[in-house]
Structure 1
Amino acid sequence: MAEEGASGFQIHPMDQFIVKPLFGGDHIAWYTITNVTLWMAIAVVAIAAMLMLGTRRRAIVPSRSQSVAEMIYGFVYNMVEEVTGREGVKYFPYVLTLFLFILFSNLLGLLPTAFTTTSHIAVTIVLAMLVFLGVTVLGFVKHGIGFLGMFWVSSAPLAIRPVLAVIEVISYFVRPVSHSIRLAGNLMAGHAVVKVIAGFATLVVASPVVIGAVTALYGLELLVACVQAYVFTILTCVYLRDAVGDVHH
Structure 2
Amino acid sequence: MAAESGKIDPMHQFMIEPVFGNQLSIAGYNVAFTNSALWMVVTLLAFWLFMLGGMKRELVPGRWQAAVEGFTGFISGMMTQNIGPEGKKFVPYVFSLFMFILISNLMGMMPVGIIPGLHAFTVTSHFTVTGVLAIISFAIVLIVGFARHGLHFFSLFVPHGTPVVMIPLLFVVELMSFLVRPFSLALRLFVAMTAGHILMKVLAGFVINGMNAGPLYGAIVSAPSFILMIGITVLELLVCAIQAYVFALLTSLYINDAVNLH
* Separation in structure 2 between the aligned mates of residue 209 and residue 73 of structure 1, nearest angstrom: 41
* Corresponding position of 1:65: 64
* Separation in structure 2 between the aligned mates of residue 17 and residue 26 of structure 1, nearest angstrom: 19
TM-score (norm 2): 0.88
Within 5 Å, give how 1:1-249 maps onto structure 2. Answer: 8-24=5-21, 29=29, 31-56=31-56, 58-112=57-111, 113-202=119-208, 203=210, 204-205=218-219, 206-245=221-260, 247=261
Given that residues 154 and 161 in structure 1 are in contact (C-alpha distance below 8 angstroms), is that contact kept between their aligned partners in structure 2? no
Q: Deviations over 1:3-45 (max 9, x none)?
A: x96xx43121111000001131577745321001000000100
Given that residues 151 and 168 in structure 1 are in contact (C-alpha distance below 8 angstroms), is that contact kept between their aligned partners in structure 2? yes
Cα deviation, residue 91, structure 1: 1.3
* Separation in structure 1 between the aligned mates of residue 30 and residue 238 of structure 2, nearest angstrom: 33
TM-score (norm 1): 0.92
Structure 1 unaligned residues grouped into runs of 5+ = none
Q: 1:71 to 1:132 in 2, by over 3 A?
A: same
Cα deviation, residue 54, structure 1: 1.1
Secondary structure of the residue aligned to 1:153 is coil
Percent identity reads 41
Q: Deviations over 1:101-153 (max 9, x none)?
A: 01100110111321000110010110000111111011100001111110112
Given that residues 24 and 30 in structure 2 are in contact (C-alpha distance below 8 angstroms), is that contact kept between their aligned partners in structure 1? no
Q: Compare relative contact order (CA 8 Å, sep 6+) and give the higher one, 1 or 2.
A: 1
Cα deviation, residue 61, structure 1: 3.0
* Separation in structure 1 between the aligned mates of residue 248 and residue 222 of structure 2, nearest angstrom: 38
Given that residues 127 and 190 in structure 2 are in contact (C-alpha distance below 8 angstroms), is that contact kept between their aligned partners in structure 1? yes
* Separation in structure 2 between the aligned mates of residue 40 and residue 182 of structure 1, nearest angstrom: 20
Given that residues 120 and 184 in structure 1 are in contact (C-alpha distance below 8 angstroms), is that contact kept between their aligned partners in structure 2? yes
| Alignment length (residue pairs) | 241
